[in-house]
């Protein structure tokens, strides 16, 4: 019997929600609530140029006086984000996320954004590892 490997591709959200950089803070908040997500890749011309998180939105709502309807994502997004290629070893992704306290990684294939993996997805992979170990110790 072949031992199953835990792979990154098995845990990513392959239908990630993204938003265009010209959209507003309000639209991002509504989209996050509607899709129940905490990280939105922000795109321009089909490429990810940044990420906005639910935490970013909360901070911005408290700090800025500009009406939320007028805040464009291109002006407030975080242009620094963690990306990994789809064939990256999941242990390497987890190590970096843990060591640098990163909540998510954007997953790329040949430089194109194809998905996202979050710390919640990593917990699912961890649970699967535990179950796999339980089965192996019973045999």
1 pLDDT exceeds 50? no
CA distance 95 to 8: 13
Residue with tokens 């640098």: 100
Q: Give per-residue pLDDT as tens, 45-102.
A: 989 999 999 988 887 777 666 666 777 888 888 889 999 999 999 999 999 999 999 9
Tell how far CA 138 is from the center of its chain: 35
Q: What is the pLDDT of residue 36?
A: 93
- pTM metric for this prediction: 0.84
- For residue 3, give the DSSP letter: P
Q: Would you say 86 and 109 are in contact if contact means Cβ atoms under 8 Å apart?
A: yes
40 pLDDT exceeds 90? yes
What average pLDDT score do residues 5-19 get?
90
Domains and CATH numbers, the chain: 8-138 (3.10.580.10)
């Amino acid at each position: 019997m072949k031992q199953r490997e835990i792979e990154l591709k098995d845990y990513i959200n392959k239908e990630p929600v993204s938003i265009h950089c010209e959209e507003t803070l309000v639209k991002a908040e509504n989209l996050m609530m509607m899709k129940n997500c905490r990280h939105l890749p922000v795109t321009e011309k089909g490429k990810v140029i940044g990420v906005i998180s639910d935490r970013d939105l909360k901070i911005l709502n408290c700090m800025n006086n500009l009406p939320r309807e007028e805040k464009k994502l291109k002006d407030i997004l975080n242009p620094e984000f963690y990306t990994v290629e789809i064939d990256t070893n999941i242990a390497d992704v987890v190590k970096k996320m843990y060591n640098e306290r990163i909540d998510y990684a954007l997953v790329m294939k040949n430089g194109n954004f194809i998905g996202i993996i979050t710390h919640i997805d990593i917990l699912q992979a961890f649970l699967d590892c535990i179950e796999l170990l339980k089965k192996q110790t019973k045999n």
